[in-house]
Amino acid sequence: MAVSPFEERYRTEMNAVFDDEAKLRKWMAVEVALAKAHAQLGNIPKDAPARIAAAAERVTPERVAEIEEEIHHDLMAMVRALTEQAGGAGKYVHLGATSYDIEDTATALIFIEAIEQLEQSLGALATTLKKLALQHKGTVCIGRTHGQHAVPTTYGMKFALYYQELKRNQERLSEAKRRIAVGKMSGAVGTMATFGKHGPKIQELVMKELGLEEDPVTNQVVQRDRHAEVLCALALTAAFMEKIAKEIRNLQRTEICEISEPFSSKQVGSSTMPQKRNPHKSERVCSLARLVRANAMTAMENISLEHERDLTNSANERAIFGESFICVDYMALQMAKILDGLVFYPENIKRNLELTQGLIMSERVMIHLVETGKFGRQDAHETVRQLAQEAFSKGRHLKDLVIAQKLLTKKEADELFDYSTYIGHAKKIVEDAVKD
């Protein structure tokens, strides 16, 4: 039975990147690259790397686990299992390396693969947001600030806003990928002492073989600011998706009901209230975003290791790395599904535009009074403000009051109070925002 919900409930293709066997294979890939570097420099026989590589194919996670149970060191368990399978070439396995030469270099390979997997999921989400932005660039709705009705906007503006933020998050992940794509082969405290005169060349050859950059200077580990940057980028991406999910949840409220996440014909909203159509998918996205943010905080705590390193990062990294990537990947896949099936309620959108009886057009009336020269800006603001307060307190339509005060003719008022014509350059803003 699964203990972590990421093993089953929130499982995605990302799980395969972080499972124990994938990690083991990455570790052994680094060991093979190290053997190749030694052979190229004449430190070990030319045929040793091929024999070690063939042995790596025969190493099983079960055998590694057996050895670890005995020696209580997971990396060394892999080294011994690989040595067993390599025959005479086994004596060259792990030559000159310390554990984190292998582990941190392999972690870079894992992170690169994970980011590339996530880029696909986020790319699909971007496609959905772009489609919605263009479809609804002219869908006029009420804009809200401080939870209050402000002035009209469009649903296309909302989706274009999200699209642009997603692009920034994609850029952050790309930058983080560049900085995490480094490895080390520098020994116990980073001096390369165990590799003798060939130290710098061995590191160069290993990283070239693996497609990584050399970390210019390390101690026993690659410094954790690199990993923390990746998890912070994940946290920002999660927060972005939480923003969308929260907006859907609020706009799905019974009193507002302008949009809703998809709800299937057999779906159950509540165990006791048959009528409920809870936005549970969006709520789940919001919930998981909190976890990713917490993991980013843990990653930042890992930056300040003592002296040339301690082990306080190790245990939590076994959880936070895979968990954060799987979580964000799951959120991206879920958000794309939510948005693909998003339901719009046009009558409710129109009802909410008219809910305040014209008060949302106060700004437009004020600007018109200034443009016609009837008032200065401050006087126009105060005049309309007083009328808006009166309309609110007496339940009157603002248009009726401005006509009664002879501030506008009926024709002028009818034109100015048409909310569909007060969306400025929204359509062009949307079109420009989603251009690639």
Catalytic residues: 146, 270
Query: Using H for helix, E for strand and C for coil, what is the string for 40-52?
Result: HCCCCCCCHHHHH
- 144 beta partners: 149
Do β-strands 343-344 and 140-145 pair in parallel, antiparallel, or remain unpaired? unpaired
CA 296 – CA 70 distance, rounded (Å) = 34
Side-chain-side CA neighbours of residue 210 (13 Å) = 37
Which own/partner pairs from 2-8 qualify as long-range (CB within 8 Å, at least 24 positions apart)? 4/323, 6/322, 6/323, 6/326, 6/327, 6/330
Do β-strands 182-183 and 148-154 pair in parallel, antiparallel, or remain unpaired? unpaired
Backbone angles phi, psi at 38, to 5 degrees: -60, -45
- Encoding tokens for residue 360? 């949302």
* CB 203 within 8 Å of CB 185: yes
| Total Cβ atoms within 10 A of residue 303 | 14
* CB 192 within 8 Å of CB 153: no
Do β-strands 148-154 and 140-145 pair in parallel, antiparallel, or remain unpaired? antiparallel
Question: Longest Cα pair distance anywhere in the chain, in angstroms?
Answer: 101
Q: Specify the 3-state DSSP secondary structure of 142.
A: strand
- Encoding tokens for residue 370? 């200034």
CA 204 – CA 90 distance, rounded (Å) = 23
* CB 223 within 8 Å of CB 216: no
CA geometry: angle 347, 351, 355, nearest 5 deg: 175
CA 283 – CA 287 distance, rounded (Å) = 6
What are the angstrom distances between the C-alpha of 271 and each of 260, 267, 278? 20, 11, 11
CA 157 – CA 148 distance, rounded (Å) = 18
CA geometry: angle 14, 125, 20, nearest 5 deg: 5
What contacts 92, CB < 8 A, 6 or more positions away? 35, 38, 44, 45, 48, 52, 86
